């Protein structure tokens, strides 16, 4: 019995799950407007969850994030996300926008609040579903459980590292990841 090769391949392709890449996603800026991640093609991307309460430690973390973004302006896009699960509310959006913009330059893309965790199920933002699910990103299966998570995407669009909150922005681990 002869099997039609093209027919078999077509059926196989139909049965395979569709893997979406990072560049198929977009985010809504806290100031309004959509930012398509396709704008980041050829650049590295750092996506991090933000603190929600002003404090000396939070100000220091934002300062470090800003200086990292400035130091790598040509080859790194930084996307900073306030998370609903960490306490973000729409009512505090204007106050947070003012605080973030006072601490972070316009080279940092600050988004509106997102659901970042797998426990948010269908409310989890599609970008964070891609970042946290191995079936989507083909590398890591990890969940966010607080502010300060750092997801690094290579200039070819592959998730290459996830660093937990205790890893500081200017640590050797971050610098090594940026060289990948």
CB atoms within 10 A of CB 93: 14
Task: Give Cβ neighbours of residue 76 (< 8 Å, ≥ 6 apart).
Answer: 43, 44, 45, 46, 68, 69, 178
Most confident of the ranges 4-8, 9-13, 160-164:
160-164
Q: Which two tokens stand for residue 40?
A: 């980041």
Q: Is residue 48 part of a domain?
A: yes
Q: For residues 15 and 171, what is the distance between their CA atoms, to the nearest angstrom? A: 43
Q: Is residue 4 part of a domain?
A: no
Domain residues for 163?
18-179
> Does 1 score more than 60 pLDDT?
no
**Continuous H helices in 48-144:** 56-71, 93-103, 126-132, 134-137
Q: For residues 144 and 121, what is the distance between their CA atoms, to the nearest angstrom? A: 13
Q: What is the CATH number of the domain that holds 66?
A: 3.40.30.10
Confidence of residue 20 (pLDDT cuts 50, 70, 90): low
> What is the signed CA dihedral for 170, 161, 75, 114, rounded to 10 degrees?
-90
Question: Which whole number is the average pLDDT over 48-70?
Answer: 97
Q: Is residue 166 part of a domain?
A: yes
- Compute φ and ψ for 11, nearest 5 degrees: -65, -40
Q: Is residue 154 part of a domain?
A: yes
Question: Which whole number is the average pLDDT over 44-54?
Answer: 97
Confidence of residue 18 (pLDDT cuts 50, 70, 90): very low
Question: Which whole number is the average pLDDT over 104-108?
Answer: 97
> Does 25 score more than 60 pLDDT?
yes
| Structure confidence at residue 180 (pLDDT) | 78
Q: Is residue 5 part of a domain?
A: no
pTM here is 0.88
Please state the domain count of the chain.
1
Residue with the bigger pLDDT between 161 and 13: it is: 161
Nearest-10 crossing angle of helices 93-103, 56-71: 60
């Amino acid at each position: 019995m002869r099997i039609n090769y093209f027919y078999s391949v077509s059926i196989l392709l139909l049965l395979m799950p569709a893997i979406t890449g990072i560049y198929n996603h977009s985010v809504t800026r806290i100031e309004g407007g959509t930012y398509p991640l396709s704008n980041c093609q050829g650049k590295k991307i750092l996506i991090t969850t933000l603190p929600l309460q002003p404090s000396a430690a939070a100000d220091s973390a934002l300062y470090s994030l800003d200086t990292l973004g400035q130091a790598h302006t040509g080859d790194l896009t930084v996307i900073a996300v306030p998370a609903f699960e960490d306490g973000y509310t729409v009512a505090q959006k204007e106050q947070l926008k003012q605080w973030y913009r006072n601490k972070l330059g316009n080279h940092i893309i600050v988004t509106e609040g997102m659901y970042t965790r797998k426990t948010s199920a269908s409310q989890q933002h599609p970008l964070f579903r891609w970042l946290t699910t191995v079936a989507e990103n083909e590398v890591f299966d990890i969940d966010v459980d607080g502010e300060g998570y750092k997801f690094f995407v290579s200039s070819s669009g592959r998730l290459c590292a996830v660093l937990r909150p205790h890893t500081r922005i200017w640590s050797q681990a971050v610098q090594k990841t940026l060289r990948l």
